[in-house]
Structure 1
Amino acid sequence: MTPALETRGLAKQFGGLKVTRDLSLKIAQGARHALIGPNGAGKTTVINLLTGVLRPNGGRILLEGNDITDVTVHGRVLRGLSRTFQINQLYPDLTPIETIGLAVSERLGRGGDWWRVMGTRSDVNAEIAENLERFHLTDVMNEPTATLPYGKQRLLEIAVAIATKPRVLLLDEPAAGVPESERHDILAAVASLPRDVTVLLIEHDMDLVFSFADRISVLVNGAMLVEGAPDEVARDSQVKAVYLGEGADG
């Protein structure tokens, strides 16, 4: 089966600093795939390359078998590739219902007329309500985003990403900065993502990684160190040495 997302020999450098080195990665259709590694391993650079924020110095990126290496960020979203960010990119003055409504309307090509679309189309209203419910946002749907607890803001960002109807979703540290008391909803939301959406998770929280992923890739110094099933990765001596605490610095 054609991978949902694939890189072939992906490379990125800034001046003389090589951040991504000959990275070849395959994310299977419908996978729950995690990309982990110590601080400075190049994980965020890889995400920025996959989403078009950065251009590679070498290699190719394929989405469902189609080369998207030169496609714009917006073009990749239209082709079914969406992401969340380590630091949320939400509109602070909009409410969750408005934010999700805008995302749905943009997907339908009605972004400039989103208030009318929200008010008059039952299918759009139903989709907004479904996302509010799925991501535990109904109780705060009319509150300005800036006033929401940080965990709710993270949930809203995932909801917005899902509202674009991605076939591949990149989650960049969804639990980062979320207080322990709010992490349960994040874990539940990630676990309940639709199975027809392929997910690549970048995360430091090993509890989240090992409860979520069916395959894990370990990145070190911009190159692939180990890839395999979670139990294989957990037992690997190289992973223990550089990442999971045995002689590791991050």
Structure 2
Amino acid sequence: MTITVLETKQLNRTFGALKATTDVSFRLEKGARHALIGPNGAGKTTLINLLTGVLTPSSGQILLNGEEISSVKRENRVRRGLVRTFQINQLFGELNVVESLALVINERRGQGRNCFRRTGSLAGIEDEIASLVCDFGLEGVIDQPCSGLPYGKQRLLEIALAIACKPKVLLLDEPAAGVPQADRQEVMARLSALPADVSILLIEHDMDLVFNFANRISVLVAGALFAEGTVEQISTDPMVKNVYLGGAHV
């Protein structure tokens, strides 16, 4: 039996006369590794911004674990377990890895006012930080300011910060964007090792990453869902090839 953790029903967003999303009805199942792909301008970022509360729908519904969240504030969606990463890193540039993780963990625990206290002064937080540092291969850079980290490590830290929020649903917005080719294999490996109980929606242009990570793919074109299916179904669909993938790429 499949359980739907995130769902949209006839979701629309307009900007004046422009339809950014059109009647998008989408389901993310519990434990899914689901990719959302589409050409530039397809409306992928708009859809993610609707899901996370950056934008308000013009019409339609968004449900998280069966509860309507279309009017719920962004921070409250995070508290309910809906967490995202960004196409462009959103890091605390002057803080180091440990301080950044401590800040997020403290905020999650309702101790934001104590976020700059010495990490060891809060029971249990050091073990959680150590686990995240290990899981995301950040051992060698823990004392470096985030702004000075290699870009691949910045990407891994951003994902670690998202996991520190204890998400039930994680939206990954182009996690490999800007990552040097030499570092992509590590990013892909860390993505593959994300907790199985976290349902993941991946937005990505790197089709190698998509085909290796996802078990289901949705294709968005001109703000509307164009196709949906397994990796094999999407990679061999002639209409998808024509509008997005391109026969030569596949």
Q: TM-score, normalised by structure 2?
A: 0.97
AA aligned to 1:181 is A
Cα deviation code 1:192-232 (max 9, x no counterpart): 10001000000000000000001000000000111001000
Q: Is the 8 A contact 1:2 1:65 kept in 2?
A: no
CA distance in 1, matches of 2:220, 2:17: 20
AA aligned to 1:6 is E
What is the CA RMSD across the aligned residues, in angstroms?
A: 1.3
Task: Please give the secondary structure, in 2, of the residue aligned with 1:217.
Answer: strand
What is the identity percentage for the equivalent residue pairs of Structure 1 and Structure 2? 55
1:120 shift after superposition: 2.2
Partner of 1:57: 58
CA distance in 2, matches of 1:114, 1:221: 43
Structure 1, unaligned runs of 5 or more: none
Task: Please give the secondary structure, in 1, of the residue aligned with 2:124.
Answer: helix
Cα deviation code 1:51-90 (max 9, x no counterpart): 0000010100000111101000001000000000000110
Task: Please give the secondary structure, in 2, of the residue aligned with 1:5.
Answer: strand
Partner of 2:21: 20
AA aligned to 1:66 is E
Partner of 1:165: 166
Determine whether 1:101 maps to 2:102.
Answer: yes
Partner of 1:83: 84
Q: Is the 8 A contact 1:52 1:72 kept in 2?
A: yes
Partner of 1:124: 125
CA distance in 1, matches of 2:36, 2:78: 21
Partner of 1:233: 234
Q: Is the 8 A contact 1:117 1:124 kept in 2?
A: no
1:236 shift after superposition: 0.5
Q: TM-score, normalised by structure 1?
A: 0.97
Aligned residue pair count: 248
1:34 shift after superposition: 0.3
CA distance in 2, matches of 1:22, 1:124: 43
Structure 2, unaligned runs of 5 or more: none
Partner of 1:4: 5
Cα deviation code 1:123-143 (max 9, x no counterpart): 211010000111111110000
AA aligned to 1:204 is H
Determine whether 1:43 maps to 2:44.
Answer: yes
